[in-house]
Every structure is written in structure tokens, then in C-alpha cells.
A and B are shown apart, each in its own frame.
Chain A
Amino acid sequence: MNGYYFTILHGAVLTVGVSLLALLVSIVLGLLGAAAKLSGNRLLVAVATAYTTIIRGIPDLVLMLLVFYGGTIGLNHLLAALGSNGNVDINPFFAGVLTIGFIYGAYMTESFRGAILSIPKGQMEAAWAFGMSRVQTFVRITAPQMVRYALPSFTNNWLVLIKATALVSLIGLKEMTYVAKQASAATRSPFAFFLFTAALFLVYTTVSLYALRKLNARFSLGAKRATL
């Protein structure tokens, strides 16, 4: 009986791994998406808009099943077309990381776009006037200030992302929700295991919330706040 709790804790490591890697993917996609939306290039704006609108209108689970099952068949067809008899199975870990990262990249795009728009335009213009390139302006001027504006919605997205990792159990990754479900089927005392898993998720979200609040306080140090 106690062994199951250890297995769930072991699964928790996978949950943390999936969520952090997916976060990384979503931040990269979010920055690319925000850059595309703000680029003013018609084609890029259209692609980024289609990305954010379509992804945010489809359930995470459906996309995940599409990527996992569809991706497996698609890859095998591709291999067959290339003349190989090999049979690949998509790893549920990577399918989960890529799908969740891809989905939350759409949400991050909107957060980052809003954050960049909140920075006074004069800041970027001043940087250009100093002869900085676009990349230099982004790294030195935009990014440090963007963090403060993006953090509140980033925090929301991150909390939703953590909870979305539970879905990866449905495509067979043995993270903690999956283990809890197996344990409950084996021992016929499901309540305890699900409660334990829920508590672990609660700890994870609480710790993240605390850390991000600290980070927010750190990045808001220079901001002037008016009090009524």
C-alpha cells in the first residue's frame, strides 16, 4: 500500500519535468508569436492570429490525442513512403511536452504581446536613436521591462499549464495521475490516492504562486505606485 505512494511521488517528478519543458516550449513559441503579431508583416500576422485563435478554441485533450495518435500514424506513413519498414511509436513524454507547449504558446503569445504593447514606445525609440539593433533593443530594453507586465498573466498561464499536465496520463505517460489511477484500481481504495495526488498538485501550484509573487515584487521594484 505504501509502495504506491512512493510510485506516485516518483510520478510527480515526471509531472514537474513535463510541465517545465512544456513551459520552455511555450515561452519560445510565445515570444515568436508575439514578435510575429507585432511585426506588421501581413503574412506573419495572419499566421500568428490563426495559431492563437484556432489553438485556444480546441480542447487540450483533443489536440493531445490528435498529436499522439495522428503523429504516430503520420510518422509511420512518412517512413513507409521513404521506403523504410521501421515502426516508430511516439513517446508520450515528448508528445505531451510538445502538445502542451504548443497550446500554451498560444496563450503566452497573447500575454507577451500585451506586455510589449504596455511598454512606452519612447523606450524603444530611444534605444534605436542610440543606434541599437532590433535584437539589442529587445534584449536590453524591451525584455527586462516586459517581464513586469507579462508576469500576472504568465502566472495564470503557468498554473493552468501545470493542471493540464494531468491530461498526459490519458495518452499513457506514467506521471502521478496515471499512477494514482492504477493504484486505485489495484487496491480498490481510490479516494486516498486521488486525494494524495490532488494534494501534490496543490503543493506544486502553491509553491509556484509564491515564487512568482516574489519574482513579481522583484521586477516591480522600480515601478512607482500611486496610492489613493
Chain B
Amino acid sequence: MKWSVIFEPQNLALYGNGILTTLGLLFSSLGIGAVLALIFALALTGPWAPLRWIVGAYTYVVRGTPLLIQVYMIYYGLGQLEWIQERWNDIWPWTYFKEPFFCALFAFSLNTAGYTAEMLAGAIRETNAGEIEAAQAFGMSRFQVMLRVVLPSALRRTLPAYSNEVVMMLQSTSLASAVPSMLDVTAAASRVYSDYYLPFEAYIAAAFIYLVASFCLIAVFRLAERRFLAYLAPRKH
């Protein structure tokens, strides 16, 4: 075991860059995914049946296929459609498809949106009927009931499941290393492995980084749950 190799400055810098890429990917895909998930969840619980079916089919496909294939499909698949190739040199939104970071981000956002939408839709459906009836008795419109009563409670009740999804997503970002020229923590470890032929040191260092990151995320969610779900916690006195 030659752990000193990991602590050489250039390799520490490699892992440092990897951590930045991984966290950047994680938080931006979670952000975009959360916005999409909210829209999808509203569509899933909404009154308009065709929209429910379309979004339902979307979440079914996203949750039923491996993320790796979704990444491949966007990185290799979309990037090689002629229609996009004609546009990606100068027409605005398509220029992004040339960048591996964007392709990975796009795939991860769509993926987490699918999973989160179903959780959120479940929480919305399970809102206590009495709360909704009370709001309706006050004369609130559908939109007002959603905004003032259902969503604040549904978003809180999604927290425990969402914390799992965030940790899963952290681990899923390791698939970014399957896209060439993306340097996340896993890709950094692979580079150290191939440079020095030291698989144990390289990958155990990466595993340690992921483990620490997972624990930090879990701790943050514990705090958030204590704050936002205090009213559901068992009585202490």
C-alpha cells in the first residue's frame, strides 16, 4: 500500500477537482430536478387525464431503465442526431449538447426529476382529507388550497424519502465518469489508478470521499427534518 501517492500535490488536486465536479453536478441536477419534479408532481395529481398519462409514462420509463443507458442516450445518442449536429455549432440551446458536463447534467436532472415527482405526488395524494376540506370550507380555490395547505405539508412529508434520493443521486454522479473527459471523483480515481497502477489506494480514497459526503448530506437532512417535521415527531413529554 502506497498511500503517499494519493497525497502528492498533483493527485490531491485531481481529487479536489473531482470533488468540485461531483458536487457541482449533484447540486445543479438536484436543483433543476426539483423544479421539474414539482411541475411533474402537480401534473400527476392534476385534473387533466392526458397529462397524467404522459407524465406517468415518463416517470415509468425513467425509473424502469438504468441511468447509465440514459446518460449514453443523451451523450452519444442526441449528440449524433443530424438534426442537432446541424445546430450545435451556433444555434443557442443546442450548443450545450457539445459539452459533456451539460449532457451529464441533463441526464441526471431528468432522472432525479422522475423519481422525485413520484415521491412528491404520493405525498400530495396522501394529504389528510380533513385539511383539504377545511381549506375548501374557507372558500379557497383549487390553486389556493394547493399553495397554502397541500404543498407546504406535502413537501415536508417528502423530506425523509427525498434524503434517500439525494444520497442515491450523489452515488449516481459516479456514472459521469462513463462520459469521456468528465473528471468527477470516480474519474479522478480511475486516472490515479491508471497512472500508478494502484487500484486499492485510488478507489478506496474515492470511496472515502463519497462516504464522508453521504454522511454530511444525511446529517443536513436530519437537521432539516428536526426543523420541518417537528410537528410529526413523537412527543417528548
Task: Determine the residue in chain A with the shortest Cβ distance to B72.
Answer: A194
Comparing B132-140, B144-152, B198-206, the segment that makes contact with chain A is B198-206
Interface residues of B in 199-218 (CB under 8 A from A): 199-200, 203-204, 206-207, 210-211, 214-215
Task: Determine the residue in chain A with the shortest Cβ distance to B60.
Answer: A202
**Interface size class, chain A:** 35 or more
- Chain B residues with Cβ below 8 Å from A44 are none
Say yes or no for A127: interface residue by CB 8 A criterion. no
How many residues of chain B have a CB within 8 Å of chain A?
A: 41
Question: CA–CA, A189 to B189, complex, Å?
Answer: 31
Question: CA–CA, A189 to B170, complex, Å?
Answer: 31
- Chain A residues with Cβ below 8 Å from B61 are 198, 202
Comparing B8-16, B27-35, B39-47, B75-83, the segment that makes contact with chain A is B75-83
Question: CA–CA, A94 to B91, complex, Å?
Answer: 47
The proximity string for B residues 147-179 relative to A, scoring 1 for CB distances below 8 Å and 0 otherwise, is: 000000000000000000001001111110110
In the complex, number of A-B residue pairs with CB atoms less than 8 Å apart: 121
Known contacts A58-B207, A62-B207; A202 and B64 CB within 8 A of each other: yes
Docked-complex contact B210 and A59, CB < 8 angstroms: yes
Question: CA–CA, A184 to B203, complex, Å?
Answer: 29
Question: CA–CA, A135 to B56, complex, Å?
Answer: 45
CB distance from A144 to the nearest CB of B (A): 29
Known contacts A59-B172, A73-B199; A167 and B68 CB within 8 A of each other: yes
Docked-complex contact A57 and B200, CB < 8 angstroms: no
Question: CA–CA, A52 to B215, complex, Å?
Answer: 13
Docked-complex contact B186 and A62, CB < 8 angstroms: yes
- Chain A residues with Cβ below 8 Å from B175 are 61, 167
Known contacts A170-B178, A194-B73, A198-B73; A69 and B203 CB within 8 A of each other: yes
Docked-complex contact B174 and A62, CB < 8 angstroms: yes
Question: CA–CA, A70 to B193, complex, Å?
Answer: 10
Question: CA–CA, A27 to B68, complex, Å?
Answer: 25
Task: Determine the residue in chain A with the shortest Cβ distance to B174.
Answer: A59
Question: CA–CA, A188 to B82, complex, Å?
Answer: 11
Question: CA–CA, A62 to B69, complex, Å?
Answer: 18
Known contacts A166-B69, A191-B73, A201-B69; A61 and B199 CB within 8 A of each other: no
- Chain B residues with Cβ below 8 Å from A38 are none
Task: Determine the residue in chain A with the shortest Cβ distance to B79.
Answer: A190
CB distance from A223 to the nearest CB of B (A): 21
16 residue pairs from A and B, CB less than 8 Å apart: A54-B211, A61-B175, A65-B190, A65-B199, A65-B203, A69-B193, A70-B203, A73-B199, A177-B68, A180-B72, A184-B76, A184-B77, A194-B77, A198-B70, A198-B73, A201-B66
